Amino acid sequence: DSGVTQTPKHLITATGQRVTLRCSPRSGDLSVYWYQQSLDQGLQFLIQYYNGEERAKGNILERFSAQQFPDLHSELNLSSLELGDSALYFCASSPDLGGVKNIQYFGAGTRLSVL
Amino acid sequence: AQSVAQPEDQVNVAEGNPLTVKCTYSVSGNPYLFWYVQYPNRGLQFLLKYITGDNLVKGSYGFEAEFNKSQTSFHLKKPSALVSDSALYFCAVRDMGGNNRLAFGKGNQVVVIP
Percent of chain B with pLDDT over 90: 77
Which tops the pLDDT comparison, A88 or B28?
A88
Nearest residue, CB atoms, B99 vs list A42, A48, A109: A48
Which tens digits make up the pLDDT trace of A66-107? 999 999 999 999 999 999 999 999 999 998 876 667 789 999
Nearest chain A Cα distance for residue B103, angstroms? 7
Report strand pairing: B64-68 vs B56-58: antiparallel
Compute the mean pLDDT over every residue in chain B, rounded to the nearest whole number: 92
Q: What kind and span of H or E run contains A87?
A: strand A87-94
B35 and B91 Cβ atoms separated by less than 8 Å = yes
What pLDDT, on the 0 to 100 scale, is given for residue A40?
85
Which tens digits make up the pLDDT trace of B31-51? 899 999 999 878 899 999 998
**How many interface pairs between A and B have CB atoms less than 8 angstroms apart?**
61
What pLDDT, on the 0 to 100 scale, is given for residue A5?
96
Which tens digits make up the pLDDT trace of A4-18? 999 999 999 999 999
Residues in A touching B42 (Cβ below 8 Å): 108
B8 and B26 Cβ atoms separated by less than 8 Å = no
CB-CB neighbours of A58 under 10 Å: 17
**pLDDT tops 90 at residue B9:** no
State the burial class of residue B96 (Cβ atoms within 10 Å of its Cβ: 0-12, 13-18, 19+).
middle
Q: Tell me how far apart the terminal alpha carbons of chain B are, to the nearest angstrom.
A: 40
B57 and B46 Cβ atoms separated by less than 8 Å = no
Residues in A touching B36 (Cβ below 8 Å): 106
What pLDDT, on the 0 to 100 scale, is given for residue B96?
75
B103 touches chain A (CB under 8 A): yes
Nearest chain B Cα distance for residue A36, angstroms? 11
Question: Residue B103 and residue A98: Cβ atoms within 8 Å?
Answer: no
Report strand pairing: A19-24 vs B19-21: unpaired
A66 and A47 Cβ atoms separated by less than 8 Å = yes
**pLDDT tops 80 at residue B1:** no
State the burial class of residue B18 (Cβ atoms within 10 Å of its Cβ: 0-12, 13-18, 19+).
exposed
Question: Residue B43 and residue A45: Cβ atoms within 8 Å?
Answer: no
What pLDDT, on the 0 to 100 scale, is given for residue B98?
66
Close Cβ partners of B62 (under 8 Å, ≥ 6 residues apart) = B78, B79, B80
φ and ψ at B84, to 5 degrees?
A: -70, -10
Please identify among residues 37-66 of chain B the ones whose CB lies closer than 8 Å to any CB of chain A: 41-46, 49, 51-52
Beta bridge partner(s), residue A109: none
